[in-house]
Chain A
Amino acid sequence: MDPFKNRQWVVVLIIISVGLIFSFRLFYIQVINKDWSERASQITSKTENIQPPRGFIYDRNNQLLVGAETIYDIYIHPSIIKPKDSSAICKLFNLSNDNFQEIIKNASTGYNVPYKPSVFIESMTQKEHAKISPYLGQINAVFAKSKIDRGYPNSIAAHLLGYIRRIDENQFENTKAQGDFFYTKNDFIGITGLEKQYELLLRGERGNINYLKDYAGNKVETVNKKPPKPGMSLYTTLDTELQKLGEKLMANKIGSIVAIEPSSGEVLAMVSAPSYNPSSLTGRDFSDNFKILKKNDSLKPLINRPVYNDKYRPGSIFKLVQALIALEDGVILPETGFYCNKNIIGCHNHERPNNLTKAIKHSCNPYFFQVYKRLIMKDNSKNVFQTSREGLEIWEKKIKSFGFGNSLGIDLPEEKSGFIPDVDFYDKWYGKKRWAFSTIYSNSIGEGEIGVSPIQMANLASIIANRGYYYTPHVIKKTANENILKKFKIKHSTCVDKKHFEVVVKAMNEVVNQGTGRNAKIDSIEVCGKTGTVENKTFNDHSVFISFAPMDNPQIAIAVYVEYGTWGSKWAAPIASLMMESFIKGSLSEKSIEKANQISQAVILNPNTDFK
């Protein structure tokens, strides 16, 4: 008899107890505790955003202004680099051995792991890529992946279009705080211009994909996919040819051109000089170029002057407004005449302004001094301070009905309001009852404290072209969101009756035909315009010209402002004339082309330019 026979049960018991322990443990980690199951899905499942392609921007003739450009990221995959590859890589990308080692190190540490490829050259242009692409095929460890960036086939209207850049910490937090959870920290966002204004339309809707990944993070199986909704296209009111011409004419100058279609308020061209190539603010060179444009250039090329610079004094073009308000108020008649008395305010020599037309034609300063005096000091029986006060109050309201002193509401984020001095302003400046007409008379000829942006000047031309009303100037023409367009269909009327405009329109026509603006004449088109010379104490005066054409049934209204342009008819008038000719006739005559080239080559810069 085997004395140890019963020991079999000890062994069996041990086996069974191990089985039970394992079963309990498995029951715990598989059924009771869901932690491991959750960890498993963290390991395997990944949700990735799919970036929607940003909407394109077109001009009024469906010509592409902002499209897509294919650029290339170069990836390196450290774990599959063969010894012979490294020298080939160094040669191809012009790297020293140390550089190469550093690249490998970067691609293997931090967020990067050696068994997965990572970017080592970002955003290569198509041209650069074409140079290296034949050799890339020979090196397994290095490859290029294409992606889409903003592309500018026409390289125009940089200011108006604006630029995008990677969202910064502040913006990221702000958008989140406003309940907008669209962005990730890698996303781009419109910073200026249309890109900013219509960000919500352009950016589209994000899609996402949920997939199962393998150990290296590669996508193995798609579980769920929501395709992105591409950003909407913007159709703008811009005319590419006109914009191009404008930018050409304003080369080597500082200033603005704004051209508007009066019947609709559509902006045909908006030039801010100096300008820059919009594609310089894309891709890999963004930060370098941005630094140059922002900090290293005293001419502030990034500023969109037509809407942003509201410190411009309008000069003599303001006489048109004064004339219109005076006619409406009845303080003058078209036949009213004054002497050109140069005692208080200077003037040049011209025939006697014995009616309003002649005064406008010759831009007579003393005449408008008198007009303004009548506007401000209506009741001579009262105290001079009191009547000036009341007069200014009324005058200011009327001026503002022309779109001055407030933002017009153009669909560009940079627009500023301009400034029309009011009672409060002078009270603060001089003290209550310490100022009267004699203190503020320089307003009469558009000098003094008045600040007007070029878009407001163009709008003035548009108002006169329309004989009394305007539509808010705007850049968008067509979009899927109709609500946006609604506010641009509202007619804004001025305080001045239609009948008073005819006198001024005639006078403006005289200006171009026989007066100060003869430089703006166009063959076979009746042009109306008004010059302005804005006093500048440090350097040459500024050259201003507003205009529209043809006189009857106007197609284009334009304002040109050339800083340091000496006087109105010297630079601004011919520039406006060429723009209008090109737009109305569709092309320039031989003579005009030559003129355009000459203007384009002229350099008018103040070396000490700097403004806030």
Chain B
Amino acid sequence: MKYRNLSIWRNIDKPLLIMYLLLSVIGYFIMYSSTFKGLDIQSDFWTANYGKQLIWIITTLFLGFFILLLDGSFIKNTAYFTYGFVLLLLILVLLMPPIKGARSWFYFSGFSIQPSEFIKLTLSLSIAKLLSDVGSRFQEFRTKLKAFFMIIIPALLIAVQPDPGTMLVFACFIFVLYREGLSGNFLLIGLFTVLIAVVGIFLKASNSVFHLAGNAISGNIFFGLILILGFIFSFLIIRYFVLPRFRKQKIQRLIIITLLGLSISGGINYVYDSVFSERHRTRFQIMFGVKEDRKGAGYNIYQALSAVGSGEGFGKGYLKGTLSNDKYNHVPEQNTDFIFCVLAEEWGFLGSFLFIALYLSTLIRMILIAERQRSKFTRIYGYCVSAILFFHFMINIAMVIGLAPVIGIPLPFFSKGGSAILSFGLMVFILLRLDSERKVVLR
């Protein structure tokens, strides 16, 4: 036993451990600052938000230490079971009374549990297990289908809560699947879709009108025409410059892509007009700068950007923020989704840049760790963790700095919330544990 512990410690990835601990500590201090109400205001430490958060962090470290003692095969073998268990919780949570309009939490006296945070962890393990099983090959359609359902079922359950932010995170598994051999076209199609969607929504939100031969036509029809023109142009290129034996295949793809583009564009037209409520439309309009509504729907982002901008080069100093903390309370959700404001305000661009650098280094470190595994299970799991954290980071920061519409999603290691702290911490500890066995096992 003693020997084994020693070997774990020797083989554990110190850089990642240090990065994780660093993020946790910084995250805690930022979170403390966000709840800061002034030095003169005394409240009972352990019942205050920052006290609770500390309890969760200590719990996480304790459980993390416990995980380091577990055997890697145990973690792998229980993957489906834990996945199934959390999936059950996701179903049960829908029976709970809604809080802030969403049925996402189990409430106990004093604290609450959000199962959607834990499904990310168990789903990662399950996907890793599924794809790394000796019997399954990713190239087979059946495997892909299994993986797809494994991901989409919890995603849909979360959509029902509703928690669109967390649901969006499940898209991150496309990176994992891509690494495991999913055609790169999916990434491209994904990018293409996003691009068309952004242009489409922008045209709708801004109510653009173009003039063509004296006729005023709406932006989206104009966009469709451009897509068709692009199609004809590409078609002519293929017709004259591509060798005949490749032509058929290329033209097939071109048709698919064009139809996809047209249908997405048309779909957005429909969704924007018929599915979106006025509230959503306003959010997009604000995001694209078409509309300024700093008192209504645009309030959050206006306040957040002001807080971020007011940090300027070097920030106002720790605990000296004047917008994003509980003392001033100008930024809504400053303890949770908008916690980056606190960092940006108090540490300025310098702090924000170092934060981004540290955060992304951690993610890249995870990918490097994943890539050095002989065990396929660990590699896939490492990718899952990195991708999940990356998506959280990307969506959260993009929202705070006004590059994405407001979507509620926590910033791992920073945002207030026990379930997230625990779940993300355990993800990292499991990765550390699995990685420490890299020389021993081949799974």
User: Which positions 7-41 of chain B face chain A at CB distance < 8 Å?
Assistant: 38
A314-337, CB under 8 A of B: which get 1 and which 0?
000000000000000000000000
User: Which positions 350-391 of chain B face chain A at CB distance < 8 Å?
Assistant: 352-353, 356-357, 360, 363-364, 367-368, 370-371, 383, 386-387, 390
Question: When the two chains form their complex, are residues B371 and A23 in contact, meaning their CB atoms are under 8 A apart?
Answer: no
Interchain nearest-CB distance for B360 vs A (Å): 4
Q: Among the listed B313, B360, B367, which residue makes an inter-chain contact with A30, where contact means beta carbons less than 8 Å apart?
A: B313
Check if B175 is an interface residue, CB within 8 A of chain A: yes
Q: Once the chains are docked, how many angstroms separate the CA of A4 from the CA of B180?
A: 7
Interchain nearest-CB distance for A482 vs B (Å): 47
Q: Once the chains are docked, how many angstroms separate the CA of A94 from the CA of B350?
A: 61
Question: When the two chains form their complex, are residues B367 and A12 in contact, meaning their CB atoms are under 8 A apart?
Answer: yes
A21-52, CB under 8 A of B: which get 1 and which 0?
11101110111011111011101100000000
User: Which positions 276-320 of chain B face chain A at CB distance < 8 Å?
Assistant: 302-303, 305-313
Known contacts A7-B178, A11-B367; decide if A30 and B348 are in contact (CB<8 Å): yes
Question: When the two chains form their complex, are residues A7 and B398 in contact, meaning their CB atoms are under 8 A apart?
Answer: no
Check if A95 is an interface residue, CB within 8 A of chain B: no
Question: When the two chains form their complex, are residues A29 and B305 in contact, meaning their CB atoms are under 8 A apart?
Answer: yes
Known contacts A8-B367, A11-B179, A18-B394; decide if A29 and B308 are in contact (CB<8 Å): yes
Question: When the two chains form their complex, are residues B356 and A36 in contact, meaning their CB atoms are under 8 A apart?
Answer: no
Interchain nearest-CB distance for A480 vs B (Å): 41
- Inside 8 A of A26's CB, which chain B residues have their CB? 308, 344, 349, 352-353, 356, 401
- Inside 8 A of A29's CB, which chain B residues have their CB? 305, 308-309, 401-402
Question: When the two chains form their complex, are residues A31 and B349 in contact, meaning their CB atoms are under 8 A apart?
Answer: yes
Closest to B387 in A: A11
Interchain nearest-CB distance for B277 vs A (Å): 24
Q: Among the listed A7, A35, A215, which residue makes an inter-chain contact with B179, where contact means beta carbons less than 8 Å apart?
A: A7
Q: Once the chains are docked, how many angstroms separate the CA of A206 from the CA of B403?
A: 45
Q: Which of B311, B357, B402 has the most CB of A within 10 A?
A: B311
Interchain nearest-CB distance for B425 vs A (Å): 21
Check if A153 is an interface residue, CB within 8 A of chain B: no
Question: When the two chains form their complex, are residues A214 and B330 in contact, meaning their CB atoms are under 8 A apart?
Answer: yes
- Among B54-62, B107-115, B321-329, B409-417, the stretch in contact with A: B321-329
Check if B181 is an interface residue, CB within 8 A of chain A: yes
Known contacts A18-B394, A19-B360; decide if A36 and B306 are in contact (CB<8 Å): yes
Check if A490 is an interface residue, CB within 8 A of chain B: no
- Inside 8 A of A33's CB, which chain B residues have their CB? 309
Q: Which of B175, B180, B310 has the most CB of A within 10 A?
A: B310
Interchain nearest-CB distance for B33 vs A (Å): 15
- Inside 8 A of B352's CB, which chain A residues have their CB? 23, 26, 30
Interchain nearest-CB distance for A93 vs B (Å): 31
Interchain nearest-CB distance for A16 vs B (Å): 7
B172-195, CB under 8 A of A: which get 1 and which 0?
000100111100100100000000
Check if B397 is an interface residue, CB within 8 A of chain A: yes
Interchain nearest-CB distance for A436 vs B (Å): 81
- Inside 8 A of A1's CB, which chain B residues have their CB? none
Q: Once the chains are docked, how many angstroms separate the CA of A14 from the CA of B187?
A: 11
Check if A5 is an interface residue, CB within 8 A of chain B: yes
User: Which positions 208-224 of chain A face chain B at CB distance < 8 Å?
Assistant: 212-216, 220
Interchain nearest-CB distance for B173 vs A (Å): 13
Check if A177 is an interface residue, CB within 8 A of chain B: no
Q: Which of B357, B363, B368, B402 has the most CB of A within 10 A?
A: B363
Interchain nearest-CB distance for A220 vs B (Å): 6
- Inside 8 A of A130's CB, which chain B residues have their CB? none
- Inside 8 A of A4's CB, which chain B residues have their CB? 179-181
Question: When the two chains form their complex, are residues B312 and A15 in contact, meaning their CB atoms are under 8 A apart?
Answer: no
- Inside 8 A of B383's CB, which chain A residues have their CB? 11
Question: When the two chains form their complex, are residues B344 and A30 in contact, meaning their CB atoms are under 8 A apart?
Answer: yes
Q: Once the chains are docked, how many angstroms separate the CA of A214 from the CA of B323?
A: 8
Q: Once the chains are docked, how many angstroms separate the CA of A43 from the CA of B330?
A: 8
Question: When the two chains form their complex, are residues A23 and B356 in contact, meaning their CB atoms are under 8 A apart?
Answer: yes
Number of B interface residues, CB 8 Å? 49
Known contacts A5-B371, A220-B328; decide if A40 and B360 are in contact (CB<8 Å): no
Known contacts A30-B344, A214-B328, A214-B330; decide if A43 and B312 are in contact (CB<8 Å): no
Known contacts A12-B367, A16-B360; decide if A43 and B181 are in contact (CB<8 Å): no
Question: When the two chains form their complex, are residues B311 and A220 in contact, meaning their CB atoms are under 8 A apart?
Answer: no
Known contacts A4-B180, A8-B371, A22-B356; decide if A30 and B311 are in contact (CB<8 Å): yes
A184-217, CB under 8 A of B: which get 1 and which 0?
0000000000000000000000000000111110
Q: Among the listed A19, A36, A40, A220, which residue makes an inter-chain contact with B327, where contact means beta carbons less than 8 Å apart?
A: A220
Q: Once the chains are docked, how many angstroms separate the CA of A41 from the CA of B321?
A: 12
Known contacts A8-B367, A22-B356, A30-B352; decide if A215 and B309 are in contact (CB<8 Å): no
Closest to A216 in B: B329
Q: Once the chains are docked, how many angstroms separate the CA of A213 from the CA of B313?
A: 23
Q: Among the listed A8, A11, A31, A44, which residue makes an inter-chain contact with B323, where contact means beta carbons less than 8 Å apart?
A: A44
Question: When the two chains form their complex, are residues A19 and B310 in contact, meaning their CB atoms are under 8 A apart?
Answer: no
Question: When the two chains form their complex, are residues B356 and A43 in contact, meaning their CB atoms are under 8 A apart?
Answer: no
Question: When the two chains form their complex, are residues A44 and B312 in contact, meaning their CB atoms are under 8 A apart?
Answer: no
- Inside 8 A of A25's CB, which chain B residues have their CB? 401-403
Question: When the two chains form their complex, are residues B327 and A37 in contact, meaning their CB atoms are under 8 A apart?
Answer: no
Q: Among the listed A5, A31, A39, A213, which residue makes an inter-chain contact with B306, where contact means beta carbons less than 8 Å apart?
A: A39
- Inside 8 A of A27's CB, which chain B residues have their CB? 349, 353
Question: When the two chains form their complex, are residues A15 and B349 in contact, meaning their CB atoms are under 8 A apart?
Answer: no
Question: When the two chains form their complex, are residues A36 and B310 in contact, meaning their CB atoms are under 8 A apart?
Answer: yes
- Inside 8 A of A16's CB, which chain B residues have their CB? 360, 364
- Inside 8 A of A11's CB, which chain B residues have their CB? 175, 178-179, 367, 383, 386-387
Q: Once the chains are docked, how many angstroms separate the CA of A36 from the CA of B310?
A: 6
Question: When the two chains form their complex, are residues B312 and A31 in contact, meaning their CB atoms are under 8 A apart?
Answer: yes
Q: Once the chains are docked, how many angstroms separate the CA of A527 from the CA of B348?
A: 87
Interchain nearest-CB distance for B439 vs A (Å): 18
Interchain nearest-CB distance for A545 vs B (Å): 70
Closest to B379 in A: A2
Q: Once the chains are docked, how many angstroms separate the CA of A23 from the CA of B353?
A: 6
Question: When the two chains form their complex, are residues A15 and B322 in contact, meaning their CB atoms are under 8 A apart?
Answer: no
Closest to B326 in A: A214
Q: Once the chains are docked, how many angstroms separate the CA of A26 from the CA of B184?
A: 31
Q: Once the chains are docked, how many angstroms separate the CA of A11 from the CA of B360?
A: 12
- Inside 8 A of B367's CB, which chain A residues have their CB? 8, 11-12, 15
- Inside 8 A of B370's CB, which chain A residues have their CB? 8
Q: Once the chains are docked, how many angstroms separate the CA of A34 from the CA of B305?
A: 11
- Inside 8 A of B311's CB, which chain A residues have their CB? 30
Interchain nearest-CB distance for A344 vs B (Å): 85
Q: Which of A10, A27, A44 has the most CB of B within 10 A?
A: A44
Q: Once the chains are docked, how many angstroms separate the CA of A212 from the CA of B187?
A: 48
Q: Once the chains are docked, how many angstroms separate the CA of A146 from the CA of B414?
A: 46
Q: Among the listed B307, B329, B353, B356, which residue makes an inter-chain contact with A214, where contact means beta carbons less than 8 Å apart?
A: B329
Q: Among the listed A36, A213, A220, which residue makes an inter-chain contact with B305, where contact means beta carbons less than 8 Å apart?
A: A36
Q: Among the listed A3, A23, A36, A213, which residue makes an inter-chain contact with B309, where contact means beta carbons less than 8 Å apart?
A: A36
Interchain nearest-CB distance for B206 vs A (Å): 21
Known contacts A22-B401, A31-B349, A35-B309; decide if A15 and B303 are in contact (CB<8 Å): no
Interface residues of chain A, those whose CB is within 8 Å of chain B, are: 3-5, 7-8, 10-12, 14-16, 18-19, 21-23, 25-27, 29-31, 33-37, 39-41, 43-44, 212-216, 220
Given contacts A22-B356, A22-B401, 14 further A-B contacts (CB under 8 A): A4-B180, A4-B181, A10-B184, A11-B367, A15-B360, A29-B308, A31-B312, A34-B312, A36-B306, A37-B306, A40-B310, A44-B330, A215-B330, A220-B327
The contact sample of 19 A-B pairs, CB cut-off 8 A, is: A7-B178, A8-B371, A10-B184, A11-B387, A18-B394, A21-B403, A22-B398, A23-B353, A25-B401, A26-B308, A29-B308, A30-B313, A31-B312, A34-B312, A36-B305, A39-B302, A44-B328, A212-B328, A220-B327
Interface residues of chain B, those whose CB is within 8 Å of chain A, are: 38, 175, 178-181, 184, 187, 302-303, 305-313, 322-323, 327-330, 344, 348-349, 352-353, 356-357, 360, 363-364, 367-368, 370-371, 383, 386-387, 390, 394, 397-398, 401-403
The 6 closest A-B pairs by CB, nearest first: A36-B309, A40-B310, A40-B306, A30-B349, A215-B329, A19-B360
